[in-house]
């Protein structure tokens, strides 16, 4: 069997980006901001962009391929136009499609991304695919992320495979339903995780609290099992827990105002993991992640801005002198 460096596991989706023209952002009673439009009205929009073959693990698999790794992807597609588009993109990006299953009577996942100012609100729907874990040999790393609401038993299959292959390392970037399952239901996955990545709000959701102290969030996630924990906080930067120490990393300076931030977190997470796979220390990997995040925000969609290794290393070489992690 072919030896892979990196295999992503997760749902793949086509994103339809709708750039809103008229909307308002208001503070909700629950502490969250709300995007508001007139109910029952015709709402003007500025533009629509269709981006196939995205999603956390799909983006990560493409990022791995662009950074020079032997990459594959475990996912499900419907036998429809969107499914063919997604499949063709993976092939073009040199992501091995051996483990991509096409289902005759299913639809490919399709999400709507509402763009307003620099933020996005995503309307999601996961098709009810029959998840089956294939024989993948012994890749160096698995990258597990967003799956559908019927995937709980599939996680147990992944856990069993990892038990039989202790040499495989696991990166976990939880998606919506994985957070809804709760850390207890995915206890085996958390304990087996080598690198865990998420954003600050997701860390609070995983830990079921509203803790603001980033060091307590890092330690809380680490106590669930993951050896290395990286948490992003948007424009505020990223944080790392590794071997009892915590670090802060600022964002990489934007060369020009970002177009949108969709996929920035995915780019950070996958690039951080890939840097470690390539032999970098977690502290050095913390410098890699924000560079790809910056690049992704300069274009529409989560994939277009993902960098090659040559380009990423060139940017790092010319980075500002103070662009380095600081222990906190």
Mean pLDDT to the nearest integer, 51-78: 96
Mean pLDDT to the nearest integer, 78-97: 98
Tokens matching residue 73: 């992807």
Which of 75-84, 295-304, 313-322 has the least mean pLDDT?
A: 295-304
Cβ-contact 199, 231 below 8 angstroms: yes
Summarize pLDDT for 193-227 with one digit per residue, the tens.
Answer: 999 999 999 999 999 999 999 999 999 999 999 99
Q: Compute the distance between CA of residue 29 and CA of residue 32 in angstroms, rounded to an integer.
A: 7
Q: Which CATH superfamily is domain 6-12+56-108+128-327 in?
A: Ribokinase (3.40.1190.20)
Q: Which run of H or of E encompasses 191?
A: helix 187-192
Residue 260 pLDDT more than 80?
no
Question: What pLDDT does 72 receive?
Answer: 98
Domain ranges of the chain: 6-12+56-108+128-327
β-strands 45-54, 13-20: how paired? antiparallel
Cβ-contact 51, 62 below 8 angstroms: no
Q: Kindly report the average pLDDT of the chain as a whole number.
A: 94
Q: pLDDT: is 152 or 235 the higher one?
A: 152
Residue 101 pLDDT more than 80?
yes
Question: What pLDDT does 59 receive?
Answer: 93
CB atoms within 10 A of CB 149: 11
Summarize pLDDT for 287-300 with one digit per residue, the tens.
Answer: 999 999 999 888 87
- Determine what percent of the chain is predicted with pLDDT higher than 70: 99
DSSP sequence for 225-264: S-SEEEEE-GGG-EEEEETTEEEEEPPPPPSS--S--TTH
Mean pLDDT to the nearest integer, 263-274: 92
Question: What pLDDT does 63 receive?
Answer: 94
What pTM was estimated for this model as a whole? 0.93
């Amino acid at each position: 069997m072919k030896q892979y460096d990196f295999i992503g596991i997760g749902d793949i989706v086509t994103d339809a980006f709708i750039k809103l023209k008229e909307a308002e952002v208001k503070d909700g009673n629950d502490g969250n901001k709300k995007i508001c439009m007139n109910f029952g009205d015709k709402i003007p929009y500025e533009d629509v962009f269709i981006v196939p073959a995205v999603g956390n693990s799909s983006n990560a698999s493409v990022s791995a391929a662009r950074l020079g790794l032997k990459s594959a992807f475990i996912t499900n597609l419907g036998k429809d136009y969107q499914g063919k588009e997604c499949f063709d993109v993976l092939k073009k990006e040199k992501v091995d499609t051996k483990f991509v299953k096409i289902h005759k009577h299913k639809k490919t996942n399709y999400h709507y991304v509402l763009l307003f100012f620099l933020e996005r609100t995503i309307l999601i729907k996961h098709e009810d695919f029959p998840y089956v874990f294939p024989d993948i040999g012994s890749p160096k790393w698995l990258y597990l992320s967003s799956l559908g609401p019927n995937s709980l038993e599939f996680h147990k299959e992944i856990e069993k495979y990892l038990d039989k292959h202790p040499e495989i390392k696991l990166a976990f970037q939880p998606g919506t339903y994985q957070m809804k399952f709760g850390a207890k239901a995915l206890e085996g996955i958390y304990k087996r995780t080598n690198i865990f990545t998420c954003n600050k709000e997701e860390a609070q959701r995983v830990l079921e609290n509203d803790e603001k102290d980033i060091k307590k969030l890092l330690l809380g996630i680490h106590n669930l099992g993951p050896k290395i924990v990286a948490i992003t906080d948007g424009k505020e930067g990223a944080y790392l827990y590794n071997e009892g120490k915590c670090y802060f990393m600022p964002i990489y300076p934007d060369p020009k105002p970002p177009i949108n931030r969709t996929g920035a977190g995915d780019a950070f997470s996958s690039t951080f993991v890939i840097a470690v796979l390539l032999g970098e220390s977690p502290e050095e990997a913390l410098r890699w992640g924000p560079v790809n995040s910056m690049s992704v925000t300069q274009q529409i969609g989560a994939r277009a801005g993902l960098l090659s290794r040559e380009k990423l290393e060139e940017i790092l070489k010319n980075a500002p002198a103070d662009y380095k992690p600081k222990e906190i």
